[in-house]
Amino acid sequence: MDKVAYIAIFLSFVFLFLVRHLLRRPGGDNHGKSKSMRLPPSPRGALPFLGHLHLIKKPFHVALSRLAERHGPAFSLRLGFRDAVVVTSPALARECFTEHDVTFANRPRIPSQMLATGVALGTASYGPHWRNLRRVATVQLLSAHRVGRMSGVICAEVRAMARRIYSATTAAAVPGGAARIELRRRLFELSLSVLMEAIAQTKATQPNADADTDMSVEAQVFKQVIDEVFPRIGSVWWDHLPALQWLDVFGVRNKILAAVRRRDAVLRRLLDAERRRLDDGIDNEKKSMMAVLLTLQRTEPEVYTDTMITALCANLFAAGTETTSTTVEWAMSLLMNNPGTLDKAQAEIDAAVGHSRLINADDLPRLGYLRCIVAETLRLYPAAPLLLPHEASADCKVGGYDVPRGTALLVNAYAIHRDPAVWEDPGRFAPERFGGGRAEGLFMAPFGMGRRKCPGEALALQTVGVALGTLIQCFHWGRVDGLEVDMSEGSGLTMPKAVPLEAMCRTREAMCDVLQKL
């Protein structure tokens, strides 16, 4: 069937759906109930069938921030078939995740997200299955003890990145000069390498010390899947109008499914390899996350199926790869636009660590200014600016407004972190605001809050700290052609930079001996 026929069918469907919608009483099942409810204010101009979708521009978090300026810290939207409440104040966010934490522990079923992840940790409804997944993630896979044991993996992968940057800088730069380096790809490879080693004891790069990059086949598949799937989750029309899923003229559904099949095939191969290693008898202290799950499978095979294990591991890859690399990229961008802050961070590392070795995870507690830089980066550019959406499992009140059961909750962490009522000069990069406990008690939720808070926070902060500290310790960084780094925000779940970061990089003389020995 040609494209013209598809378009004709699509338009016919839209016409019939509009007629049906107009003949129905507005408000659907909640219409009678909503008359007696005090609902949050809503923008005017909602359209039949579409609701407020025509008002939503990209980036989504910025569009919602602008709507909040006109309609207040809690307002409602109609996104296709789904009602949503948007919260943009610290007080209301705390109320949602403390007083109503159980009520908002559910996730809305977003079709594109379900295609990509299935019923995994991030998307499962609140209940026994989710509680078991959460317990496994927090106790077995991402506990403080296990993250502490992963510090060797993190440091080894960061050293490998530093070695590749040093090699590229040495090869490309004239004596005493600087080489032009793109950091996004290198940081993505780093975060993927850490997770691949931790989850499946495999490498994301081939063992070639002189190579600028040489990603393994498995790593290439994961990168392609993230590149193909992430921009589409939550951004296709049938996420808001599910009936249109069967009139997918541009083939988005098939593209997501094809990418997921490639990812799952790789995960099954890695799982089979871990099963063979487990059968050969490996040291319990050196077990990968997959090996831990396979051990649990032996006692409860009906719970820890291969499908459940691959879905959970896919969720860990999706949640931990781009979020970590994007955070370091934003931090480096901020530092290059604020060279005085970069110099101060470098001086702190020189004093605390010296020039005879590279920074490691044990140094992080003593690097207070570096921690302030990370905190300020997460304030300005949280990895998930809207967190993940929640859904009310029962009627409740937020900020004095009624929120009916089934309403999606969007918490705009980006707007909350820049609230001028809370933060002085909120758009300015000022790590000092976190020094000496000055920001204690001020609301920040870059990893979420409550029952659905990201369980990988400790691993993410350790990876970001060691990676950022190593880049500062080992190299001098400058802006390309002396121009300000473009800080435009892209669209997506993880708020990537619209323009990938490129920088002029020169190895610090004091660190040459250390880097040469890597």
Annotated binding-site ranges for heme? 454
Burial class (CB within 10 angstroms; exposed 0-12, middle 13-18, buried 19+) of 255: middle
- Judged by DSSP in three states, 438 sits in coil
Nearest-CA neighbor of 194 among 174, 222, 170? 222
Nearby residues of 106 by Cβ (< 8 Å), 6 or more positions away:
125, 126, 390, 391, 392, 393
Q: For residue 62, how many other CB atoms are within 10 A of its CB?
A: 17
| Dihedral pair phi/psi, residue 443, rounded to 5° | -75, 125
- The answer to whether 495 and 381 are in contact (CB under 8 A) is yes
Q: How far apart are CA 277 and CA 255, in angstroms?
A: 34
Q: Alpha helices of 322-479 — where are they, by DSSP H? A: 322-336, 339-352, 368-380, 413-417, 457-474
Residues annotated in a binding site: 454
Q: Could you tell me if 469 and 367 are in contact, meaning their C-beta atoms sit under 8 angstroms apart?
A: yes
Alpha-helical regions (H) of 118-247: 128-135, 144-149, 151-172, 183-200, 217-229, 237-240
